[in-house]
Amino acid sequence: MAVASTTSIDELKEKAKTLRRHIVRMTTEAGSGHPSSSLSAVEVVTALYFGGFLRYDPQQPRKPDRDRFILSKGHAAPVLYAALAEAGYFPVEDLMTLRKLGSPLEGHPNYKRLPGIEASTGSLGQGLSIGIGHALAVRLDGYDARVYVMIGDGEMDEGQVWEALAAANKYRLGNLTAIIDQNGYQQTGATKDVLDLTPLDEKIRAFGWHVQTINGNCMESVVAALDAARKVTDRPTCIIAQTKKGFGILDVLQETGDVNFHGKPLPPDLAEKALEVLK
Ligand SMILES: Cc1ncc(C[n+]2csc(CCOP(=O)(O)OP(=O)(O)O)c2C)c(N)n1
Ligand SMILES: [Mg+2]
């Protein structure tokens, strides 16, 4: 199965920049969307798709033995679309149709409309449960496929996530990796103020999972953590990726006075500034 060949850390960092430029351009063009939520997740998504972790074939998007990536925090769709386009699922030019009438690049991922999307997400809390279904199915079918699910730190407030954490341990799903994009913010403010779930690592470990906490915007750390996770095969693994919302253009977002910048596109003048920074 085809695996993208970009493997060196420097190449991955370049690819991350490319994804960031796509994210800024497409959300500003759309006049809506979630750039800051997409930007925090770039290193993880880049490493998965281009660092040799996900085995996929854009020509056979439903090949049964493929690895799966489920973006449970579906509002960060632009980062997924940017990766899929760069991976060859559809032309890069199509990114600019984000959220336009008739485009399969909907505001939230729709698996019926776009190859490479594994699950329709956006209603938060569901992706890990869907990932468990995939992980059980590939195991039953005898494939060594791995399933990765990205969850938002605010999304962790959803009870369904904790039911899924328990169920994944019950089935000892050694082919399942959850990645929490711990960017410290959710829609209405700082995650610790809305519902403080610390110590998150200890809680998830108590559910029987292997847990790592890393700097999720450091490519070296992300690659090392994904590598360690895939070596664990007797229980589910979780990577708590400590990130910054809007990472890559933090100074530009600072100018808006809104560090969360949730669900807002950059106005064209700030998008220009962001693209300068991301050159
Ligand atoms: C079930 C559900 N409730 C509320 C929302 C609205 N909503 C969209 S994004 C968001 C915040 C999510 O925060 P987090 O998971 O931390 O993601 P981030 O944007 O910080 O990456 C909320 C509440 C939703 N999409 N689904
Ligand atoms: Mg968050």
Domain extents for the chain?
9-277
**End-to-end C-alpha distance for the chain, whole angstroms:** 32
Structure tokens belonging to residue 217? 């915007």
- Coarse DSSP helix, strand, coil percentages of the chain, rounded to the nearest 5 percent: 45, 10, 45
The conformational region for residue 231 under phi > 0 = left, psi -120 to 50 = alpha, else beta, is: alpha
Q: Please, which pLDDT band fits residue 1 given cuts at 50, 70 and 90?
A: low
User: In this structure, what token pair is assigned to residue 12?
Assistant: 């991955």
> For residue 239, which phi and psi values (nearest 5 degrees)?
-115, 115
Q: What is the CATH number of domain 9-277?
A: 3.40.50.970
Distance of CA 121 from the midpoint of ligand 1 (Å): 11
Residue 111 pLDDT > 80, yes or no?
Answer: yes
> Which atom belonging to ligand 1 lies closest to the Cα atom of 186?
13
> For 178-183, what is the mean pLDDT?
99
Confidence of residue 245 (pLDDT cuts 50, 70, 90): very high
Over residues 38-45, the mean pLDDT reads 99
Residues contacting 17, CB < 8 A, separation 6+: 248, 278
Residue 166 identity: A
Q: How far is the C-alpha of 176 from the C-alpha of 232, rounded, in Å?
A: 10
d(CA 121, CA 106): 11
Q: Which atom of ligand 1 is nearest to the CA of 75?
A: 9
Are the CB atoms for 1 and 84 separated by under 8 Å? no
Closest CA to 176 of 220, 225, 133, 205: 133
In this prediction, residue 7 has a pLDDT band, given cuts at 50, 70 and 90, of confident
Distance 164 CA to ligand 2 centre (A): 19
Q: Tell me which residue has its CA closest to atom 10 in ligand 1.
A: 187
The ligand that comes nearest to the alpha carbon of residue 150 is: 1
Q: Which amino acid is at 228?
A: A
Q: Is the pLDDT of residue 275 over 60?
A: yes
Q: For residue 4, what pLDDT is reported?
A: 47
15's tokens: 């690819």
